[in-house]
């Protein structure tokens, strides 16, 4: 089954598919084993910051590691955040990265033009859509400001949430989806990324909330699967509600990265760090999202 079809099924079931980030290659085996043990389904994903600021190596290294633990009924490979302008304000030569990932067999990709003005975001996203759709590959895009990856301290969370500053605008989202033909849209509705900057990446994440009325308006306006970035640390009740209101993919990074780093620091043992990732991933699937056994539900024709 193609990833696009899996997403359609998840949407019909009212569940979200988690996408686990891989900043350190040994995390990949642990994530896959946890997904298989829970008989669930997830994406494994790598974002550009994870090979620039961490130790993922690059799209080829992650694809090679993924091939070692291949289990297509349970996991697929996604290319996360390829920014047009990165978290440090630098322009990125993004098209060759997509070309490389598509050649490597990534089954879905994300272009992040969210730091650009609307027109330029539309243009850049459309370029990637043209490239990826020619290979039958779905494209995720981003509109609005999911803050947190930048080096500076973000504004106080409650101020952001109350003001709705940076939230994805409903009219822009409608137009953006029509003009870009993107398949999935990452939205800003109170979610925030875990910090990745040196000196801040070990901080405990704020327990974010979500504006579910705003999510409803975005789902209505766009009619495509919506994506929740910054999935770590959001209060559970909001995440479970969001799944019933249009969120079909939820990105989880900090939640499994920090246990890996803590265990590595304490023990120096990759095996112990992998065990920490395995346990946290299983917890996300079973206890937080409640999607153990999801593989069978996605496969069953009756679930459509």
Instruction: Cite the active site residues.
Output: 80
254 near ligand 13P (CB under 6 A): yes
Of 144, 166, 194, 259, which lies in the binding site for ligand 13P, with binding defined by CB under 6 A? 194
Judged by beta carbon, residue 10 or residue 187, the one nearer ligand 13P is 187
- Helices (DSSP H) in 170-211: which residue ranges? 170-180
> Between the CA atoms of 70, 264, 18 and 71, what dihedral angle is there, to the nearest 10 degrees?
10
For residue 273, the minimal CB distance to ligand 13P (Å) is 17
80 near ligand 13P (CB under 6 A): yes
Judged by beta carbon, residue 80 or residue 183, the one nearer ligand 13P is 80
Query: Assign residue 212 a region: left if phi > 0, alpha if psi is -120 to 50, beta otherwise?
Result: alpha
Under rule CB under 6 A, which residues in 29-58 are in contact with ligand 13P? 47
For residue 52, the minimal CB distance to ligand 13P (Å) is 14
Residues 6+ apart with CB under 8 A from 158: none
For residue 231, the minimal CB distance to ligand 13P (Å) is 5
CB 145 within 8 A of CB 87: no
Judged by beta carbon, residue 205 or residue 217, the one nearer ligand 13P is 205
Under rule CB under 6 A, which residues in 278-297 are in contact with ligand 13P? none
Q: How many Cα neighbours within 13 Å face the side chain of 59?
A: 24
CB 92 within 8 A of CB 86: yes
Chain contacts with ligand 13P (rule: CB under 6 A): 21, 47, 80-81, 193-194, 229-232, 251-255
């Amino acid at each position: 089954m193609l990833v696009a079809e899996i997403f359609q099924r998840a949407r019909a079931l009212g569940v979200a598919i988690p996408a686990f980030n891989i900043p350190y290659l040994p995390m990949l085996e642990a994530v896959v084993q946890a997904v298989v043990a829970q008989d669930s389904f997830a994406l494994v994903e790598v974002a550009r910051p994870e090979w620039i600021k961490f130790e993922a190596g690059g799209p080829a290294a992650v694809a090679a590691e993924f091939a070692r633990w291949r289990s297509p009924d349970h996991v697929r490979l996604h290319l996360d955040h390829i920014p047009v302008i990165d978290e440090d304000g630098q322009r990125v030569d993004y098209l060759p990265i997509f070309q490389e990932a598509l050649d490597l067999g990534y089954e879905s990709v994300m272009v992040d033009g969210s730091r650009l003005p609307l027109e330029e975001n539309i243009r850049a996203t459309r370029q990637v859509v043209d490239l990826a759709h020619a290979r039958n590959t779905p494209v995720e895009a981003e509109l609005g400001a999911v803050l947190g990856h930048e080096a500076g301290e973000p504004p106080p969370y409650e101020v952001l949430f109350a003001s709705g500053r940076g939230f994805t605008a409903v009219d822009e989202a409608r137009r953006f989806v029509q003009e870009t033909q993107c398949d999935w849209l990452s939205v800003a509705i109170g979610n925030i990324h875990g910090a990745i900057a040196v000196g801040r990446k070990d901080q405990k994440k704020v327990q974010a909330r979500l504006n579910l009325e705003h999510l409803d308006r975005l789902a209505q306006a766009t009619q495509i699967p919506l994506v929740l970035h910054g999935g770590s640390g959001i209060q559970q009740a909001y995440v479970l509600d969001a799944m019933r209101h249009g969120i079909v993919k939820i990105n989880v990074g900090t939640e499994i990265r920090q246990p890996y780093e803590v265990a590595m620091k304490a023990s120096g043992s990759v095996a112990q760090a992998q065990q920490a990732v395995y346990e946290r991933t299983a917890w996300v699937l079973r206890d937080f999202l409640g999607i153990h056994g999801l593989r069978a539900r996605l496969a069953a024709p009756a679930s459509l």
